[in-house]
Amino acid sequence: MVVKPMNTTMYSVAEIAKLCQSSKVGKLLPDALYVHSSALSALDPILQHLEGQCREYFESLSSATIIKFHLEQPKISYLFYPDFDIEAHPILHRSVQVDWRTGQVTERDYTQTDNPPVLHRKETFVTSSYHLCDTFAQLTRQEEQLGLLADSRFIGTLKNWEKRLQKSEVIINGHQIISKTTNDKRLHYRIQRHRAAIVRSGLSKPVRCALEAGLFDENTTFFDYGCGHGTDYKIIQKQGFTSAGWDPHYFPNNHIQPADIVNLGYVINVIENPDERRTTLLNAWNLTQKVLIVAAQVLVESNNQGQIAYGDGIITRRNTFQKYYEQEELKMYIDQVLDVDSIPVALGIYFVFRDQNEAERFRTSKFRSRATNPRIKKQVKRFSDYQELLAPLMDFVTERGRIPRQGELPSEAEIVSEFGSLNRAFQVILQVTDQKDWQNITEQRKHDLLLYLALTNFGHRPKMTELPPPIQADIRGLFGNYRSACQEADAMLRSLGNLSLIQERCQNSSVGKKSSKSLTVHVSALDSLDVLLRLYESCASRTIGRPQEATLVKFHTNQPKISYLFVPDFDQEPHPLIYTRMDIDLRNLRVYYQDFDLNDNPPIVHRKDALVLPTYPYFEKFLKLTRQEEDWGLLDDELSVRRQKNWQKFLESRCVTHQGHRVVWRKDCDPYLVKLTRAQIRLRQKQRHLTMN
């Protein structure tokens, strides 16, 4: 059928393709952009106009579900999936293709076809505000975990998709995956929980987190509830603590006993019965006198081949149940069962404190940045005579950002006896130090508290009386009152919604590697960042805890996202490999994990000096390498050498290699190339010196 040409001749195919490729909504493939009808209003106005012209001429298109913009032809296709919301993988009923240059229309009916196309990854077609977007996304994540979406070119039609499901022994009911090998009563699998226990040679990550957080003192008692092979409680015992453990399979005869710290590490995720899972968590909490550690598997693994869905979890081929949680889902589960506000310390690991004061003390400590006493710039006899007596006062003001209140400083009586008051004693300290340094410390401590208070807005904000006395004193001393502090913190939190402000702070940062869309810094430099950027990162780590293995943190300025990069050889290698990357979407707190194949051209790090502070132990070594590489012209096109193989190939073409953090000539170099390069190096060095002067 041919209809008269539409009023769209002002557009070119190349222009439409460019707009499609830059679209922030829809599913972009090499040859087309697919958009759900509900998301059309989020497209570029030109695309909206073009699509609107087609609808105006062909009224039958109003019920189309998916609109396909072709990138190489002047065509738009309208795809009809009437069961888009209802079916997990809806079937295509009809398609209408419109040539927006000629007005020619091609229609096809799929209702009589025995193998019609089916739809996958429905969340990619809609906007994040679509009422079922989260449901669609959760199904996709589960299917990815099970390998159902691998080799997607083989599952685009109904028969092939059904064959994939049959091979994986699953069915999809609504938007949930159910195993065909078990019924709701789970009669066909005898879950062998003990086989999920891992034999370790060292402490598990949850217990290691507790030790590193300083939760253990010399009198602390420890109990591992569901201890598996018992490695944790035995190591803690060897370190001199009172420690025990119990496990229904490995240590069923051990005594179950209360303790200061109770560990429930990766236990609730292997219990297939929801009621028993809840009871186990409550039992562990009842044993806890000070802190309960809860850890469970979360949905971030990238390689889970060979697993099938089992109820609300996974059964591995070892015949062990695994309940995989979303990080936020795990926190909600713990909080609802125990009626608490658990604290995330790492991915899938939470601390639950018995005492509210101790919980808030721990929370505030997470935001306390590093500071050192200001340097003594001159000698004054009054200070020199009493320097040892005044040292605790200097330490206190550096730690709290304020003068101690009565009773806070153990040596208060001796200082007051000599100087009359703590304020007069501090005036002596100001005579030998720079007052601006102390003002900076006070501002730094205010920022630390603002971070803590801003993030309490996401959950339960404690009353002033629920805070530890030192924190109450900090708030009064630095803000005047609790209300003023909270108002300032809330205003700062609201400003995070302005990405242009985040971009401005990133571009103005004195540390970090900048691009048009991001700022990347070493974790050691986070405390030195602008307070708004610290809050931006804290919004990610508040849910997952900052990953302990993170080396670099990337602040995205074109979307609300934080990335953590694991670069274990950062200090040792001149251009270290990035092993893994974890992205946190701040809009929904979803965690995305990427494990780079170290044998398949992983990304590498350049210009390490830009990522750290000048006080970093290896800063000078990093800086010398970067300057040498700039002089040698090795970083002129940094984008083309971001990956290991590209970098190695480029170095070979320039006949150079690295010895430690130095660039050296290879032994087989062409003498003429060496001579030419040296001339270029001298010219670059001269230009650099002129620029610096």
pLDDT in tens, 268-301: 888 877 888 899 999 999 999 999 999 987 765 4
The pLDDT-based confidence of 666 (bands split at 50, 70, 90) is confident
> Do 95 and 67 touch, CB atoms closer than 8 A?
no
Residue 241 CB neighbour total at 10 angstroms: 20
Q: Is the predicted pLDDT of residue 512 greater than 60, yes or no?
A: yes
Q: Is the predicted pLDDT of residue 409 greater than 60, yes or no?
A: yes
pLDDT in tens, 437-452: 999 999 999 999 999 9
Burial 93-110 (b: 16+ CB within 10 A, else e): bbbbbbbbeebebeeeeb
Residues with Cβ within 8 Å of 166's Cβ and at least 6 positions away in sequence, in order, are none
Q: Token pair for residue 7?
A: 């009023």
Measured between alpha carbons, how far is 100 from 51 in angstroms, rounded to an integer?
Answer: 9
Measured between alpha carbons, how far is 454 from 494 in angstroms, rounded to an integer?
Answer: 9
Residue spans per domain, the chain: 1-183, 195-354, 381-492, 494-611, 619-692
Q: Is the predicted pLDDT of residue 316 greater than 60, yes or no?
A: no
Measured between alpha carbons, how far is 629 from 456 in angstroms, rounded to an integer?
Answer: 46
| Mean pLDDT, range 36-64, rounded to an integer | 87
| Mean pLDDT, range 120-145, rounded to an integer | 88
What is the model's pLDDT at position 325? Answer: 65
Q: Is the predicted pLDDT of residue 256 greater than 90, yes or no?
A: yes
Angle of CA points 434, 440, 441, to nearest 5°: 100
What is the model's pLDDT at position 233? Answer: 93
| Mean pLDDT, range 42-62, rounded to an integer | 85
Q: Give me the DSSP letters along 281-349.
A: HHHHHHHEEEEEEEE--BTT-S--TT-EEETTEEE-TTS-EE--B-HHHHHHHHHHHHTS--EEEETTE
Residue 646 CB neighbour total at 10 angstroms: 15
Q: Token pair for residue 521?
A: 């810094």
> Do 1 and 98 touch, CB atoms closer than 8 A?
no
Q: Is the predicted pLDDT of residue 306 greater than 50, yes or no?
A: no
- What are the Cα distances from residue 465, in Å, to 291, 355, 359, 468? 21, 13, 13, 8
Q: Is the predicted pLDDT of residue 562 greater than 90, yes or no?
A: yes
Q: Is the predicted pLDDT of residue 195 greater than 50, yes or no?
A: no
The rounded percent of the chain whose pLDDT value lies above 90 is 53
Measured between alpha carbons, how far is 690 from 693 in angstroms, rounded to an integer?
Answer: 5
The pLDDT-based confidence of 679 (bands split at 50, 70, 90) is confident
The pLDDT-based confidence of 52 (bands split at 50, 70, 90) is confident
Please indicate, yes or no, whether the overall pTM of this predicted structure exceeds 0.95: no
Domain spanning 195-354, CATH class: alpha beta
Q: Token pair for residue 627?
A: 């300057």
> Long-range contacts made by residues 64-67, C-beta under 8 angstroms, separation at least 24?
64/37, 64/96, 65/36, 65/37, 65/90, 66/34, 66/35, 66/36, 66/37, 66/119, 66/125, 67/34, 67/35, 67/36, 67/37, 67/40
| Mean pLDDT, range 597-608, rounded to an integer | 86
The pLDDT-based confidence of 305 (bands split at 50, 70, 90) is very low
Nearest alpha-carbon partner for 181 in 317, 324, 377, 369: 317
What is the model's pLDDT at position 113? Answer: 83
Residues with Cβ within 8 Å of 661's Cβ and at least 6 positions away in sequence, in order, are 574, 621, 622, 624, 625
First-residue to last-residue Cα distance in the chain: 73
What is the model's pLDDT at position 2? Answer: 45
